Structure 1
Amino acid sequence: MSAWMLGAPVDTVAGADAEWILGELRRHRQALHRIPELDFELPRTIEYVRHHLDGLSCEVFEPCRSCVCAYFDAGCDSTVAVRADMDALPITERSCAPTPSETPGHMHACGHDAHMAMALTFASVVDRAIASESAFVADDAGTCGAGEREDGGCEAQSSSKKCTAPASNVLFIFQPAEETTGGARSVCESGVFERYGVSAIFGFHVWPDLPAGTVASRPGPLFARSSETHIDIKGVSAHIAATYVVPDEQTHDAMLAAARFVEGARRLMMQLGEREYCIAKFGLLRAGTVCNAVADDAHIEGSIRVYSDQLFDAARDGVRSCLEDACVSTGCTYEVSFASGYPPVINDAALFERARAAVPHMMELDSPSLTAEDFSFYQQRIAGLFMLLGVGACPACPGGATSSLHADDLYFDEEPLLAGVDTYCRLLGLGPIA
């Protein structure tokens, strides 16, 4: 770990009352929910984010394509980062949102609008804390940030007065393409962490399966490594009548080969799953053209999710073996490719323990998820902690239900997002929201 330490919490954040923060969260989230955009093509989203940040006392810049950063200088020797993703999904919305998507076929179905709303609101909190006269407590040593105690707080906090300056400079990262090619990788390659001396990074993902307002994480593996898998099987077309009593290995039936492969892959992952959490699932299969002819080709797409390089190699080799067996048994040939995908999200254990001290109500999860997230690229550069924020049931939705991520009816209320901003405040030494 670097010299950065979690700040000792104080009673309240200067000007950061819950009513004001909730109003900011609603304003940002609902505005962003209306303008979902995809991948790196985010002009309206970037304009909105920049418009808000340009009004704050920070340096706003774009270190790489479609990425917006804001740097707040609190006069500290170290910097921590807060990350939010900006892209949406190619889904037609059917939710109960009061401000639904204005772009047909596009929707914030993964909560990135909420991630941005929390980051933009917290940026305003940081701006107020730095700008406020009460953020710098005069004492014999000077101002807040001039000296640091062994416990990570500033010298001024040892006085009877409250010190609400951040325990670190803060770099906000609004990145593109989390859902597609991993925009986090280009942020890392831009050199922004080295340029601003960033020692740690925090991020959230909203989580419908957790009760509203729950903050949860775990040390070590949280999300899986992903590898998108593409398979093409080649056979020979023939009238189905010509295959009567013909042995399977002479049918050259690409559809039969694909079916056997999918079943074989399922058995493979049941075996590998006895060693550690893993999965290989195939969500797309296309084969054939008409009902009375043997399919001469089949195309399959899926994903492998694991937590270790060793098991990834075993899963990849196993998929090839299943594919070979399926094609030999049907007289077909094949080609397979494995994308490099995202690394696993591995939370820094020391950073997790420090965060638990600042956020004592943070729940420690028993097991990791097979979800994938490009936050993992940041963790390969610096210490990182990725957290889940429960959004639970939505009173405004039919039956009070909140759907799942990537569903066309996903929606949740903004009130649980208060817990996310509160967590950011605690982690940066600004104390809980009043």
Structure 2
Amino acid sequence: MAVKNRFAELHENITALRHDLHAHPEILFETHRTSALVAERLRAVGCDEVVTGIGRTGVVGVIKGQSVTSGKVVGLRADMDALPIQEATGLDYASTTEGAMHACGHDGHTAMLLGAAEYLTETRNFDGTVVLIFQPAEEGGGGGREMCQDGLMDRFGIQEVYGMHNWPGMPTGSFAIRPGPFFAATDLFEITVQGKGGHAAKPHETIDSTVMASQLVLALQTIASRNADPVDPVVISVTSFETSSKAFNVIPHAVTLRGTVRTLSKDMRQLAEERVKALCALQCESFGGQAIVDYRRGYPVMVNHPDQTEFAAQAARSVSGQCDKAPLIMGGEDFAYLLEERPGAYILVGNGDSAMVHHPAYNFNDEAIPAGCSWWAEIAEQRMPLSS
């Protein structure tokens, strides 16, 4: 693997930093310790400017190259937050915070970008400016949106932006990427099905909300099978079915359904929302009941820009020798907000044979650190080369 020699030297220190972050996970915007540690580290390695409090608890570091005559400004983003999961790894550096865990590898992402910061401040082998973005609240809080709304792009003059995520199941330190739609939009729904409750021995005197809701769960699946273009993916999952009664002999007056809708295009996203609402209304009306639908838009589709995707793949090939085409992913990623503001690309780096992300047994693979750090450095040096 053609990693930069400096990262082999820094590997032990970056790993120790990653373990410290792993032992002290913080959720959503509550990344106070993590943000302070990041800011302290950026100042210690010699960043030209360090700004805290962007998007509540986000941190930004600025590194100017040996020359800035190109006027180019490239943003590199890592996420910092953990998940509300009880860790079950048994590691000696396992989470010390009850009910919180770095189960998605954001500790690794943060450590790798901090490692890259140390290299880039030492060498400054580029013509332009690197803006390091450390973002809170990727896991459902929309931290990327908050940082953008706080003026991230304009304040620091960012012209392009790049992100990276570890991926279990890919060989350690390998890379994969794809242009266009990559991660799905993540919408949520809560449907209250209302009928008329009564005695279970007299169903004819009721409007059975349980039957209505059961039929609705099945009907919602026809959106994917009968309304959607088969080559335009949509996933509709009902993940919770809760009745207003727990008794054996009572037909409840109401049932609440909760779930998620995942799509990879704006048109399919709109169609799915319209069909969910229509099916709820008409299905329940046919039984004599009604449905109240709370449909909430979440993260948008994350779309990689073609030119920046090819450049990101080229940088990956410089590090590992190849870069595979990544699959479409129906999970969400709020780097989507940054890519709506500026052209850029998001890449996967292999985490090896580990538990999948969001699992209590997951752990970031420290052997991926040199490759990830090297990719960040290659982005800066190749996108803003010094003139010979």
Q: 1:277 aligns with which of 233, 258, 263?
A: 233
Structure 1: runs of 5+ lacking an equivalent? 1-10, 131-164, 394-401
1:254 equivalent to 2:245? Answer: no
CA gap of 1:167–1:427, structure 2 versus 1, over 3 A, is farther
The SS at the match of 2:196 is coil
Letter in 2 for 1:51: E
Confirm or deny: 8 A CA contact 2:6 2:119 kept in the other structure: no
CA RMSD of aligned residues (A): 1.9
Q: Give a deviation string over 1:337-372, Cα, whole Å, max 9, x none.
A: 221211111111011122333332443426411111
Q: 1:318 aligns with which of 275, 294, 298?
A: 275
1:208: Cα distance to partner? Answer: 0.7
Matches within 5 A, 1:23-172: 23-58=12-47, 59-62=49-52, 63-74=54-65, 75-76=67-68, 77-130=71-124, 165-172=125-132
1:275-323 residue CA offsets vs partner (Å, 9 max, x unmatched): 4111111212211322221122211221111121211121112212321
Separation in 1, partners of 2:94, 2:260: 31
CA distance in structure 2 between the aligned counterparts of 1:193 and 1:317, rounded to whole angstroms? 33
Q: Structure 1, residues 195-224: CA drift from partner, whole Å, max 9, x if none?
A: 222111111111113222111111111111
Q: Structure 2: which amino acid aligns with 1:127?
A: T
* Distance in 2 (alpha carbons) for counterparts of 1:192 and 1:415: 32
Give the direction of change, closer, same or farther, for the CA distance of 1:309–1:359 in structure 2 (3 Å limit). Answer: same
Structure 1 letter corresponding to 2:58:
C
**Structure 1: distance between partners of 2:382 and 2:259:** 44
Distance in 1, matches of 2:326 and 2:168, equals: 17
Amino acid at match of 1:341: G
Whether the 8 Å contact between 2:108 and 2:364 is mirrored in structure 1 is no
Q: Which amino acid aligns with 1:263?
A: L
Which 10-residue stretch deviates more, 117-126 or 260-269? Answer: 260-269
Cα distance in 2 for partners of 1:174, 1:102 equals 22
Alpha-carbon offset, residue 18 of structure 1 = 3.8
Contact kept, 8 Å, 1:217 with 1:362, in 2: the verdict is no
Bigger radius of gyration, 1 or 2?
A: 1
Greater shift, 350-359 or 109-118, is seen at: 350-359
Q: Which amino acid aligns with 1:290?
A: A
CA distance in 2, matches of 1:362, 1:307: 26
Paired with 1:354 and 1:32, the residues of 2 have a C-alpha distance of 30
8 A contact 1:347–1:385 mirrored in 2: yes
Do the aligned residues in 2 keep the contact of 1:210 with 1:389 (CA within 8 Å)?
A: yes
Q: Which residue identity lines up with residue 17 of structure 2 in the other structure?
A: H
Name the CA distance, whole Å, in 1 between partners of 2:128 and 2:92: 37
Whether 1:336 aligns to 2:293 is yes
Q: Which residue of the partner structure matches residue 358 of structure 2?
A: 406
Report Cα offsets for 1:382-413 as digits up to 9, x if no partner.
111101111012xxxxxxxx211111111242
In structure 1, the residue corresponding to 2:138 is in which secondary structure?
coil
Cα deviation code 1:141-170 (max 9, x no counterpart)? xxxxxxxxxxxxxxxxxxxxxxxx124311
Q: How far did 1:326 drift? A: 3.1
Structure 1 letter corresponding to 2:184: A
For the residue of structure 2 that corresponds to 1:222, the secondary structure is: strand
Q: Deviations over 1:93-142 (max 9, x none)?
A: 11143310001111111111111111111111111113xxxxxxxxxxxx
| Aligned match of 1:139 | none
Corresponding position of 2:386 = none
- Pair 178,123 (structure 1): closer, same or farther in 2 beyond 3 Å: same
Dislocated runs of 4+, deviation >3 Å: none
TM-score, structure 2 normalization: 0.91
Give 2:143's aligned amino acid: G
Structure 2: which amino acid aligns with 1:94?
A
Q: Residue 273 of structure 1: CA displacement?
A: 5.5
Quote the Cα distance in structure 2 between the aligned partners of 1:90 and 1:273. 36
Q: Which residue is 1:423 aligned to? A: 375
* 8 A Cα contact 2:197 2:253, kept in partner: yes
In structure 2, the residue corresponding to 1:302 is in which secondary structure? strand
In structure 2, relative to structure 1, the CA distance for the partners of 1:358 and 1:412 (3 Å cut) is closer
User: Structure 1 residues 27 and 337 mapped into 2: Cα distance closer, same or farther (>3 Å)?
Assistant: same
Q: Is 1:20 paired with 2:9?
A: yes
Q: 1:290 to 1:166 in 2, by over 3 A?
A: farther
Counterpart for residue 138 of structure 1: none
Hey, what does 2:340 align to over in structure 1? 380
Q: Distance in 2 between matches of 1:57 and 1:314?
A: 50
1:329, 1:57 → 2: CA distance? 68
Structure 2 unaligned spans of 5+? 384-388
Name the amino acid aligned to 1:414.
Answer: D
**More strand per residue:** 2
- The whole-number CA distance in structure 2 between the counterparts of 1:209 and 1:338 is 34
Decide whether the 8 Å contact of 2:176 with 2:326 is kept in 1: no
- Alignment match of 1:230 (pick from 181, 190, 199): 190
